[in-house]
Structure 1
Amino acid sequence: MPTKITQVTPVTTDINSLFVSPTQVMQGEGVISQAGETISRLGKRPLVVGGKETLGMMSDYLKPVFQKFKLTGAFDSYAPDCSETSLKTLSKTTQDHQADLIIGVGGGKALDTAKLLAHQQKLPIVTIPTSGATCAAWTALSNIYTNQGAFQYDVPLSRCPELLILDYDLIKTAPKRTLVAGIGDAIAKWYEASVSSGQSKATLTIAAVQQARVLRDILLQKSVSALDNIGGEDWREVVNATVLLAGVIGGLGGANCRTVAAHAVHNGLTHIPAAHDALHGEKVAYGILVQLRLEEMLQGNQLATTSRQQLLKFYEKIGLPKSLEDLGLSQVTLEELRRAAVVTCHPNSDIHRLPFKVSPEQLLSAMVSTLE
C-alpha cells in the first residue's frame, strides 16, 4: 500500500506577505558568548531545544551566558524526531518551565522543531545552527516527520526567527560531512528556482532566482578550497552561503520560489528506512540529478544533460552522492523504490512544479539512471 501523507491547513497570511529574514543576525567567532544581552531582551526563561548530544555540548556555551544575564534556562530534546509527538512533549515542557523564549540549537530538524514550537506557543525564537548543513536557522518554515523519520508535511510559519546566531567557532567543530551536505542542499536552490520561477516577472522573485545563480557559482568555485581549509576565508564564505544566502533566496522568493523535484525526491526517500543514514543535503543533492534526468528524458533538454555532467564532476570532488548506491541504497528492493516514487509524486508534492507531468514509473527510471 502507498504510504499515507497527512496534510494540515497552512498558516493563513496575506498572499503578498514575505518573511524575508531574521530580525537580527549575529555572526563571528565566539559570538555566542557576546549574545547574552540580545537574548535577555527577548526573554528571561529560555527553553533550549535540540538533540540530546547537542544539548550536552551547548550547555557549555549557554550556561555561562544564562548565569551572567540571570536567565533561568531549561534544556529538552526533540526526540524521537521533528514530529507531532515531540512537539506535544515540548509544549508541556514549555508550559512547565513557564518559558518565554525558545532557543533552537543543532541541525535542520532541531531548528525546525524549535521554530514550530515557538510558533505554536507564540514565543520569540533564537536559532543557533551547529553546522553548515541547512538554511533552517533562517527560514519561516518547518518540516514535520513521523517518529520514524518519514516526511509528512511542511508548515509555513508566521515569521523568521528574532535572532540567528552563527558562531564560526561552533560550526568548525561539526563533521566535514555536514558542510558537504549543506552544499548539496544549498546548490539545489538554483536548479529548482530556475525551473519554478525562472520566467517570473515579479521583481523580488527575479532577485531570488538571480541570487540562486550567485549561490551556485560561489559553491562551485569555493567548495573544494573551503573543505580543504576548515576555518579559512573560503570556508567562511561557503558557510555563509549554505546558512545565510540560501535563506535569503527562500525569503525573497517566498511561495513563488519553491523547491521542485530535488527536495521532493528527498521527501520520498525518507520513507525508505535504509535512507535515514544519509543526511538531508545528501538526499537533496542526489535529487538534483534525478530532476535533471527527468528534464532530459521528458523534455529532451540538452542543457540539463550538460548541467548534470558538471554536477557529477563537482560531486566527485567534494563527496556528494551521485547514485542510489552512493546513498547506501544498493540493497533496497524495487518495491521500496517504487513506494518512494509514489510518495514523491503525491498530488501535493512540489515535483509537480516541473513544467511537465511526471509519473512514479518515469521518476523511478530517472532515479536509477543518474550516472548515465
Structure 2
Amino acid sequence: MTDPLQTQAIAPALVFRGEGAWPQALPRIVALGRTPLLLGRSASTFGLRQQLAVDLEQAGARPVASQALRDCCEEDLGPLAREAVAAGCDAVIATGGGKVLDAGKLLAHRLGLACITVPTSAATCAGWTALANLYTPDGAFLGDVALDRCPDLLVFDHALVRQAPSRTLASGIADAVAKWYEASVSSGSSGDGLVQQAVQMARLLRDLLLLEGEAALADPHGEAWVRVAEGCALTAGLIGGIGGARCRTVAAHAVHNGLTQLAATHGCLHGEKVGFGVLVQLWLEEQLAGNRLAAQARRQLLPFFRRLGLPTDLEALGLAGASLDQLRQVCRFACREGSDLHRLPFAVAPEDLLAAMVGATAERQQA
C-alpha cells in the first residue's frame, strides 16, 4: 500500500545546461551568494577554478577559494565549515567531481547556506542529488547522508565538462547504467506511479547509453556526447529523485562501497567500481535466484564495458595481488547490516559475494 504522505527532494531548484551555461548562470549565482565558498580539490582543475573565481569577481561576488578538501570526510568538513563561517560565506559553490560535489552539498546543508554545484565531468550524478557519501580521509566509504534538498542551482556547462578525460565519461556511463539494474530490483512490486515511471526512465537511459555510449566517447563534440553526458550527470539524478528511496542502489553500489575499503582500488573511479558491481549483482541474480535474464544482461554488458575501457575483473581493479583475507574484507563490508546489498530479494552471504566477484567476469567475451 502506498504511504499516504511522502516527501521527496526531486531536483535542483534551477538547472543551467548547455554550451556557455556558466557565464549565463553568473547573475543567478551572485543573487544566491555574494561571498561564496568556492570548493575544489583536484590539481588538474586548479586553473579552471581560478578562472571561475575571476568570473565571479567580475560578476560582483567575493569568492573565498579553498583547496583544503582531500576527501568528503569529517576531518576535512569540520575545518572547511569553520573557514566558511569565519569568512562570512553565504553560499557554497562546489566545482569538481563527485566527492567535491558531495562535500559542497553537505557543507551547505550543515551551515544552512545556498548550494551551487558545477560538475567538471559527467562521471556521476552527484551534482543533482540530495545525497552525500562520507568517506574516511584515506578514501574508504563510511555511509551516505540524506540531505533536506537538492542544490539550489546546478550548472552543467558543456564547455567545462568536455575538458574532462574521456575515462570520466566511461565511468559515468557505468554508474548510470547501474540505475536500471538496481532500480528494477529495489522498486520490487511497488504500485507507486512515480516509482514505476522512474524505473522506466532508468530502462530508457540504459538503452541510450548502450546505443550511443561508444559514439559519445569517440566524438566529444557530437550530439551523442551531449545526450550521454547529460544522461549520466542529470537524468540519472532525476531518476533517483523521482523514484525516491524505492529506486536506489542495491548490490552494484554495495560492491563499490566494499571495494573502497582496500587502498589498491583507490586509483579506480567511482563508476568503474560500480560497473564491476553491476556484473557481480547480475551473477548473484543468475546463480542464487536462477534469473536467466540476468545472465543474458551480463553477457551483453561485459563486451560493452570492455570496449569502453572499463575494468571488468579484479586484476583491472588493482586487486591482482589481493589476498583472500582482503577480498573477504570487501565482502564483509558489502554484506554488513544495513547494506544496500540486502535489497536483493534473496539472502547473500560474504562467501556468496566472494564467489560472485571471482565468477562474474570469468567467462571470456563471446565472439
Q: Which TM-score band applies after superposition, normalised by the shorter structure?
A: over 0.9
**Which amino acid is the alignment partner of residue 230 of structure 2?**
N
Task: Find out whether 1:169 has 2:159 as its counterpart.
Answer: yes
Q: Is 1:272 matched with 2:265? A: no
Letter in 2 for 1:104: A
1:227-286 deviations in whole A, cap 9, x for unaligned?
110121000100010001000100001111110000000000000110101100000000
- Report how many residues are paired: 359
What amino acid is the match of 1:277?
Answer: G
8 A contact 1:103–1:128 mirrored in 2 = yes
User: Which of 202, 215, 228 is residue 225 of structure 1 equivalent to?
Assistant: 215
Take 2:138 and 2:270, find their aligned partners in 1: how far apart are those partners?
15
Contact 1:190 1:212 (8 Å CA) reproduced: yes
Deviations for 1:101-127, whole angstroms, at most 9, x for unmatched residues? Answer: 100010000000000000000001000
Aligned residue number for residue 124 of structure 2: 134
Matches within 5 A, 1:194-343: 194-343=184-333
Shift of 1:325: 1.4
TM-score, with length taken from structure 1: 0.94
Q: Which position in structure 2 is the counterpart of 1:26?
A: 16
* Correspondence 1:184 to 2:163: no
SS class of match (2:126) = coil
Alignment check: 8 A CA contact 2:57 2:63 kept: no
The alpha-carbon distance between structure 1 residues 163 and 362, as it changes in their structure 2 partners (threshold 3 A), is: same
Over 3 Å counting, the alpha-carbon distance change for 1:184 and 1:15 in structure 2 is farther
Letter of the 1:358 partner, please give it.
V
Taking the TM superposition and a 5 Å limit, the aligned residue runs for 1:56-67 are 56-67=46-57
Q: Does 1:37 align with 2:27?
A: yes
Indicate if the aligned counterparts of 2:49 and 2:95 stay in contact, CA closer than 8 A. no
For the residues of structure 2 that align with 1:188 and 1:216, how far apart are their CA atoms? 8
Task: Note the alpha carbon deviations across 1:268-324, whole angstroms, 9 max, x for none.
Answer: 000011010110000000000000110111111111100000001211221111111
Q: Which runs of 5+ in 2 are unaligned?
A: none
8 Å Cα contact 2:34-2:61 kept in structure 1: yes
1:154 aligns with 144
* Alpha-carbon separation, structure 2, partners of 1:277 and 1:15: 43
Name the CA shift for 1:194/1:84 in 2 (closer, same or farther; >3 Å).
Answer: same
Letter in 2 for 1:239: A
Secondary structure (helix, strand or coil) at the match of 1:35 reads: helix
Matched ranges for 1:9-88 at <5 A = 16-53=6-43, 56-88=46-78
SS at match of 2:93: strand
Paired letter, 1:56: F
> How far, CA to CA, are the matches of 2:196 and 2:10 in structure 1?
14
Identity of aligned residues (%): 49
Q: Distance in 2 between matches of 1:221 and 1:78?
A: 40
Cα distance in 1 for residues equivalent to 2:46 and 2:206:
35
State whether residues 195 and 243 of structure 2, in contact with CA within 8 Å, keep that contact through their aligned partners in structure 1: yes
8 Å Cα contact 1:104/1:114 also seen in 2:
yes
How far apart in 1 are the matches of 2:247 and 2:187? 6
Could you say what the CA RMSD is over the residues aligned between the two structures, in angstroms? 1.3
Distance 1:216 1:55 in 2: 30
TM normalised by structure 2 equals 0.96
User: Are 2:286 and 2:294, in contact at CA under 8 Å, matched by a contact in 1?
Assistant: yes
Question: The residue matched to 2:266 in structure 1 has which SS?
Answer: helix
- Checking the alignment, whether the CA contact within 8 Å between 1:32 and 1:61 is kept in structure 2 is no
Alpha-carbon separation, structure 2, partners of 1:229 and 1:268: 34
C-alpha contact 1:78 1:113 (8 A) present in aligned 2? no
Q: Distance in 2 between matches of 1:33 and 1:234?
A: 24
Describe the shift of the 1:354–1:197 C-alpha distance in structure 2 as closer, same or farther (beyond 3 A): same
| Pairwise CA distance, 1:24 | 0.5
CA distance in structure 2 between the partners assigned to 1:109 and 1:267 by the alignment: 14
CA apart distance, 1:52 = 4.4
Structure 2 SS opposite 1:368: helix
Letter in 2 for 1:40: V
Matches of 1:365 and 1:159, distance apart in 2: 39
Q: For 2:319, give the aligned amino acid.
A: L
CA distance in structure 2 between the partners assigned to 1:131 and 1:290 by the alignment: 26
2:42–2:96 contact (8 Å) kept in structure 1: no
